[in-house]
C-alpha cells in the first residue's frame, strides 16, 4: 500500500502484485489508510487506485481464503469486518479502475462513490462460477448502483462486464482511455475536494444513508451462506477449475 496526497486529495495505491489480491492484511491496511484520511481535516476526498494491469482480482480463495474459517460464536469474520469498515468511510471516494475488478475486487470498487475506468476494465461477480455465494456486501450494494435486474444478471451468471457496458449500466461513471485514467480520476476527486466540505459531508451522509449497517448485515448473511457452500463438492470443483483455468464441471453436490 502506498499513501500519498495531492492537495486535499489522499491517494491510496494498492500494491500486491501481480493481481492485487485482497487478504486480511491487505484490507486491514486499506482500512487504516481510510481511517487516517477520515481524521485528517486537510483531506477532503480519497482517490483509490492500484498498481499494475489488474485493479483487484479479489480474495485469493486458492491459497489464502480469508473466509474459510468460521469466526468464534458471537464474533464476526475479520475480513468482512474490514470490508464493512471501508464502506463506513466518511470522505468521498473515487476509484480508478484500469483492469479486472473481480469478486471482492468488485466489492472494493463499490466502496467508492464514483468509478472512473478505461475500456479495458472488466467487472466480474464470479462467485457462482466458484460454487459460492457472493460476499463483501455485493449482494446488497450492487443493486443500489445498477438496479436489481442487472445485479441479478451479474450475480447469477458470473458474466464479465467490460468498460463500455459498465458505463451504460451506471457501474462506471466516467470512461476514458487508459492513458488518461489517472488524470481523469484525480480531476474528479479534486472537483469534489474543491466544494464546501461541510456541505459535501452532509449531502453524502444523506445519499449513503445506512450503507455501513446494510453491508454489515449483508456480510453476516453472506458468510453463513458461504460457509455452507464451501463444504460442497461444487465449491471444491470451482476452486480447482479456477486454478486450472477451465470451466467448472458442477454436479449440484
CATH of the domain at 42: 3.90.226.10
Q: Give domain status of residue 124, yes or no.
A: yes
Q: 101 with 121: CB under 8 angstroms? A: yes
Q: Give domain status of residue 210, yes or no.
A: no
pLDDT tens digits, 37-90: 999 999 999 999 999 999 999 987 777 788 877 777 677 889 999 999 999 999
Please report the pLDDT score of residue 30 as a whole number: 95
Q: Give domain status of residue 249, yes or no.
A: no
Q: Give domain status of residue 83, yes or no.
A: yes
In this structure, how many other beta carbons lie within 10 angstroms of the beta carbon of residue 216?
Answer: 20
Q: What is the pTM of this model?
A: 0.95
Q: Give domain status of residue 17, yes or no.
A: yes
Q: Give domain status of residue 215, yes or no.
A: no
Q: Give domain status of residue 222, yes or no.
A: no
Range of the domain at 32: 2-176
Q: Give domain status of residue 199, yes or no.
A: no
Which ranges of the chain have pLDDT less than 50?
A: none
Please report the pLDDT score of residue 195 as a whole number: 98
Domain count for the chain: 1
Amino acid at each position: 500500500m502506498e499513501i500519498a496526497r495531492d492537495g486535499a486529495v489522499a491517494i491510496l495505491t494498492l500494491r500486491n502484485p501481480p493481481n492485487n489480491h485482497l487478504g486480511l492484511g491487505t484490507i486491514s491496511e486499506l482500512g487504516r489508510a481510510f481511517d487516517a484520511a477520515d481524521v485528517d481535516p486537510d483531506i477532503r476526498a480519497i482517490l483509490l487506485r492500484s498498481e499494475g494491469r489488474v485493479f483487484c482480482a479479489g480474495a485469493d480463495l486458492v491459497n489464502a481464503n480469508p473466509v474459510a474459517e468460521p469466526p468464534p460464536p458471537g464474533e464476526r469474520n475479520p475480513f468482512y469486518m474490514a470490508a464493512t469498515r471501508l464502506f463506513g468511510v466518511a470522505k468521498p471516494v473515487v476509484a480508478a479502475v484500469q483492469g479486472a475488478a473481480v469478486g471482492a475486487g468488485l466489492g472494493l470498487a463499490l466502496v467508492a462513490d464514483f468509478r472512473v475506468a478505461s475500456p479495458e476494465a472488466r467487472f466480474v461477480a464470479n462467485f457462482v462460477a466458484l460454487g459460492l455465494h457472493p460476499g463483501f456486501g455485493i449482494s446488497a450494494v450492487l443493486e443500489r448502483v445498477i438496479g436489481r435486474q442487472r445485479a441479478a444478471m451479474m450475480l447469477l451468471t458470473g458474466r464479465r462486464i467490460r468498460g463500455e457496458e459498465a458505463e451504460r449500466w451506471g457501474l462506471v461513471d466516467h470512461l476514458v482511455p487508459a492513458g488518461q485514467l489517472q488524470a481523469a480520476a484525480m480531476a474528479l476527486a479534486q472537483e469534489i475536494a474543491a466544494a464546501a466540505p461541510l456541505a459535501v459531508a452532509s449531502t453524502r451522509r444523506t445519499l449513503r444513508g445506512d450503507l455501513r449497517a446494510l453491508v454489515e448485515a449483508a456480510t453476516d448473511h453472506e458468510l453463513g451462506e458461504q460457509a455452507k457452500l464451501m463444504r460442497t463438492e461444487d465449491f471444491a470443483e470451482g476452486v480447482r477449475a479456477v486454478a486450472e483455468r477451465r470451466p467448472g464441471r458442477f454436479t449440484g453436490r
